Amino acid sequence: MNNLYPLLSIIITILIYFIFLKIYNLKKHILLHPNIAATIILISLLYVTEIPFEVYNSGGKYITSFLGVCIVVLAIPMYQKIKLLKEHFKLIILTSLISIYTSFFSMLILAKILKVPKVFVYSLIPKSITSAMAIEASIFTNGNQSIAILGVMVSGILGAIIGRFVLEKIRVNNPIARGCAFGMSAHVLGTTQALEEGGITGSFSAISIPVTGVLTIINLPLFTKLVDNILK
């Protein structure tokens, strides 16, 4: 039976995903999005059945291995809007830097106030970039990989859920600004929402993901040193 666990975990994951994909196509509610709903259902299923994550991940890891390849698909909307992206690339760099530093210092202030252990802060520095890059970043900062992945998931899910609401409330209607906001704060999950708004929004969200990721990695030594000096 143990040999069936990897196959069963793959089949169950794909089945749940496609069920919610069908549901989401019928009713466009963010909580029904397959990336979000399938994650919640799978976590609940593992909790109720008391199946260890290691057992589930014996098959789930094969799905995860395709993550990096799937991200390449985001190059399609980027290519379609390549001229527009080139015209605004300096703006993307600037806004990404602002996003990264705002995210880091707000987290650092909260960690100082709440007296959060350093390992949590190290792990959550890369919370706004993709899982693959966040894992490598957590290794560099001596953080915890599981906490890093959790941070990425939470930021992505929250960004996808409340992103549109927040942008509408503060009256951000420009598709370029909306795309950058989605990509820089909620990475791939945010980009799935951006793509639904149109090619321009989706393209700028897609290009914001690697830019934010690379700039976050470049700033890791500085961020790590600040955490060491400020959180005693």
Rounded to two decimals, what is the model's pTM? 0.76
In this structure, the answer to whether residues 110 and 189 fall within a common structural domain is: yes
In this structure, the answer to whether residues 23 and 79 fall within a common structural domain is: no
Conformation bin of residue 117: beta by default, left when phi > 0, alpha when psi is -120 to 50: beta
Q: For residue 142, what pLDDT is reported?
A: 86
Query: How many C-beta atoms lie closer than 10 Å to residue 156's C-beta?
Result: 25
Q: Are 221 and 142 in contact (CB under 8 A)?
A: no
Structural domain count, the chain: 2
Q: How far is CA 218 from the centre of its chain?
A: 18
Q: For residue 1, what pLDDT is reported?
A: 47
For residue 5, the enclosing domain spans 1-65
In this structure, the answer to whether residues 47 and 148 fall within a common structural domain is: no
Compute the CA torsion angle 168, 100, 32, 191 (nearest 10 deg): 80
In this structure, the answer to whether residues 119 and 55 fall within a common structural domain is: no
In this structure, the answer to whether residues 20 and 127 fall within a common structural domain is: no
Q: For residue 222, what pLDDT is reported?
A: 93
Q: For residue 77, what pLDDT is reported?
A: 67
In this structure, the answer to whether residues 136 and 214 fall within a common structural domain is: yes
Tokens of 50: 């008391």
Q: Are 129 and 187 in contact (CB under 8 A)?
A: yes
In this structure, the answer to whether residues 53 and 166 fall within a common structural domain is: no
pLDDT tens for the chain, 232 residues long, are 456 777 888 888 889 989 988 998 888 777 787 878 888 898 898 889 888 888 888 877 777 667 666 666 666 766 777 888 788 888 889 999 999 999 999 999 999 998 888 889 999 998 888 877 888 888 888 888 888 888 888 888 888 888 888 888 888 889 988 999 998 988 888 888 888 888 888 888 888 888 888 899 999 999 999 998 888 7
Q: Which string of DSSP letters, residue by residue, matches 44-111?
A: HHHHHHT--HHHHHHHHHHHHTTHHHHHGGGHHHHHHTHHHHHHTHHHHHHHHHHHHHHHHHHHHHHH
In this structure, the answer to whether residues 78 and 190 fall within a common structural domain is: yes
In this structure, the answer to whether residues 2 and 101 fall within a common structural domain is: no
In this structure, the answer to whether residues 6 and 105 fall within a common structural domain is: no
Q: What's the sign of the alpha-carbon dihedral 109, 114, 115, 121?
A: negative
Q: How far is CA 177 from the centre of its chain?
A: 18
In this structure, the answer to whether residues 82 and 169 fall within a common structural domain is: yes
Q: For residue 96, what pLDDT is reported?
A: 92
Whole-angstrom distance, CA of residue 133 vs CA of residue 137: 6
Q: Are 178 and 159 in contact (CB under 8 A)?
A: no
In this structure, the answer to whether residues 31 and 82 fall within a common structural domain is: no
| Domain end marker among 33, 65, 97 | 65
